[in-house]
Structure 1
Amino acid sequence: MKPKLILMSHGKMAAETLHSAKMITGDLANAAIVSMTETDGLSGTTEKLKKILESSDQEPTLILADLKGGTPCNAAMMQMDSRPNLRVLSGLNLAMVIEAALSSIEDLDELVDHLLMIGKNAVEKIELPDYDEELEYEE
């Protein structure tokens, strides 16, 4: 069975990223979100996350958080001690969510390593191809 996926972010980034992923991959039944509001703080964000984690018992779970050191990521990290089947990655991006949805990897640690590579490779400087100033055409 694939690990449960939880997206966490400041504001609506997690919800919108999941929505965008569903446009590409279809339904992601085993995914949930925690969207931190301006008034949640650490305690409110932690409570939102705990409700989701309680419903998933001790099943393998991967949290993709938007920003290392941010409140959503910190709330997720605080749950790691009591949940041995919980892993947290920061740097939430659409490529990671799509790959998590489409990947057949079931082992939690293997999936984490794979998504870490996907996330890093998704960040790249885009440049236009180098075209010659004068194009020659054969007649």
Structure 2
Amino acid sequence: MAYILAGHGQYAVAIKESCQMITGQTELFHAVSFTEDMSVENVSGTYRQICEENNVSAVIVDFIGGTPANAALIVQTEFPDVAIVSGLSLSLALQLSLGESTDSAIHGAKEMLTIVQPKNQFLVQSDEGEEEE
């Protein structure tokens, strides 16, 4: 099983490298950087080659609607078992590198989203709908 990590600029490469720092695991991931000089055809060609050479389970992109995601949609027509997941993050990569299924990793990454307020600075909704400290 393998995953393609893809995003604008060097985001996917940075996620893969950061994951390696923490878990040592990176053989699961193939990072694809989308740069200004690339077209959707360049990116889809890169995905296609990775899919042909590996058992790719999912292409994980930074967000839906961008070139990395659009290229994944093109390649998915040739590789219909490859899922497309948006929301590439280090939390998601860590979950996958530790052996979680894609569904479980997505759930775990969502649980990692939180807001930490400064000490004693919690915002509370009042009865009138105004925020209070």
* Fold shared by both chains (TM-score > 0.5): yes
The gaps in structure 1 that reach 5 residues or longer are: 106-110, 132-139
The one-letter code sitting in structure 2 at the alignment partner of 1:32 is H
Any idea what the Cα deviations from partners look like across 1:86-124, whole Å, max 9, x if unmatched? Answer: 111101000000010002x4xxxxx23212212322322
Does residue 113 of structure 2 align to residue 123 of structure 1? Answer: yes
CA drift of 1:39 comes to 0.9
Any idea what the Cα deviations from partners look like across 1:29-64, whole Å, max 9, x if unmatched? Answer: 1211111110102111111111211212xx352211
Give the match's secondary structure for 1:82. coil
Match of 1:43 in 2: 41
TM-score (norm 2): 0.82
**Residue 92 of structure 1: which of 75, 84, 88 is its match?**
88
For residues 64 and 126 of structure 1, the distance between their equivalents in structure 2, rounded to whole angstroms, comes to: 27
Does residue 57 of structure 2 align to residue 67 of structure 1? Answer: no
Mean alpha-carbon deviation: is it higher for 75-84 or for 36-45?
75-84
The gaps in structure 2 that reach 5 residues or longer are: 122-133
* RMSD over aligned Cα atoms: 1.7
- The answer on whether the counterparts of 1:7 and 1:33 sit within 8 Å (CA) in structure 2 is yes
**Residue 30 of structure 2: which of 32, 45, 49 is its match?**
32
Does residue 55 of structure 2 align to residue 78 of structure 1? Answer: no
Task: Report how many residues are paired.
Answer: 121
Higher relative contact order (CA 8 A, sep 6+): 1
Match of 1:102 in 2: 98
Q: 1:35 to 1:55 in 2, by over 3 A?
A: same
